[in-house]
Structure 1
Amino acid sequence: MASDPSCPRPLPAGRAVLLGTLALLLLAGPAAAQQFTLDLGAEGAEGASLTGRAIQLFAIVTLLSLAPGIAIMVTCFPFIVTVLSILRQAVGVQQAPPNMLIVSLALFLTWFVMEPVFTEAWESGVSPLLEGTVEPEAALQATALPFRRFMEGRVDPDTVAEMRAAAPERLAQTAPDAPVSFGVLVPAFLLSEVTRGFEVGFLVFLPFLVIDLAVASILMSMGMMMVPPAVVSLPFKLGFFVLADGWSLLAGALVRSYGT
């Protein structure tokens, strides 16, 4: 039978399969590209989240490494440790109590004084940050606010004025009624605390100086000029300090000076 020329010839099986595969690939191309873009977006979001967590971890580790410096800069530790060091020199003993004990006592007295400030800083800034209810910038400002109020209540205004005058060009853009920046407040607070520590140390030194002068005068009147007065006066100074309950009196006076 002769074939009708108007009817299309059937495609070979191999060519039909090839054309069908190409059609499926063309149809699936846009959907695959869209899915690939979504996958890249998800991976990018996950990478950004991991980067943010890494930055937060780095900031926490840095803060922990700077904790001793922060304890010295924004607390009453400089004042207390200065007074205790001068007291040891006034008594006349070089290594009793040792430096570790002096620093430890100053740290615990600092904690006793600063506990309300630490509690307020934790409740207003650190705890909301850990719970995820505030942003890190707002948490940092809320944490620093109690320490700012503490330092502003103790800093000497003349010292702040001196620190402002030391860098007039850098502070020229700030308004006169603007709060004192931490770059000015922290060094001014440190200088004020050290100055106040030397003032209190001078008052602590006076009774022991009187004992030294009295012992030296007695030894000279007895003709015992070869005997070191410091060796003879040391037991009297120790006895005077112990009988007066000097450690408790001094610690109480240091703590009460902060209004706690």
Structure 2
Amino acid sequence: MLLRLLICLLWLLPITTISHAGEVKVAVAANFTEPAKDIAAAFKARTGHEASLSFGPSGQFYTQIMNGAPYEVFMSADAERPIKAELEGLGVNGTRFVYAYGALVLWSADPKLIDPKGAVLKRAKFSKIAIADPGTAPYGVAAVETLKKLGIYEAVAPKIVKGTSIAQTYNFVSTGSAELGFVASSQVYRTKAGSRWIVPKSYYTPIDQQVILLKTGDKNPAARAWLTFLKSQEAIRIIRSYGYEVR
């Protein structure tokens, strides 16, 4: 009789786990697209929860969140907007942290265009250079800061084409619509294709990518589980595998 009872309980365990599985809606900065997909798969395998991911520029997401978009977690490409979310009552106090430190790279699909020191920028022998829109994308801000640091922003400005996000910026360069462009290091970290210059981090404001639990997700166990999972060794390994720093 006891054996039968134990067998019945074992059969019920998976059903109980599934019944408690939930879903979290996550707004993810475009540069973090591929790592987020991998983390979501690992998150589901580990917890049973689903992560519904939306990708785009951080500034655009923040505007949507202010206007009532139903995201429950905000993974920004900067620290500024999560801090604002906390101060303005859109985020849950005490849940904000840096999930990754980003890096900027000047990249071209042409393997001979960019030299290791980025001197191609001063030679300016190109017709278009792509950057993310600095109004909505922190990597765009970093690109502008770099050009100003080099003292060539005004000279290069007429050649700049802006992507709505770092994902579109990468697309401009990878398809040849722009000969070169400033992209996130993570976007080209796993490929040796093309040519690149790793921009010194002293040239731009540190890209501290922060996450915060939004008030809309405060009572959702799946949302809180997502933040906890981001700090796990499993998630950190994934993040580092795309070239981000995690401290």
Greater fraction helix: 1
Please give the range of the TM-score, normalised by the shorter of the 2 chains: under 0.3
Return the TM-score normalized by structure 1: 0.26
Greater fraction strand: 2
| Higher RCO, 1 vs 2 (CA within 8 Å, ≥6 residues apart) | 2
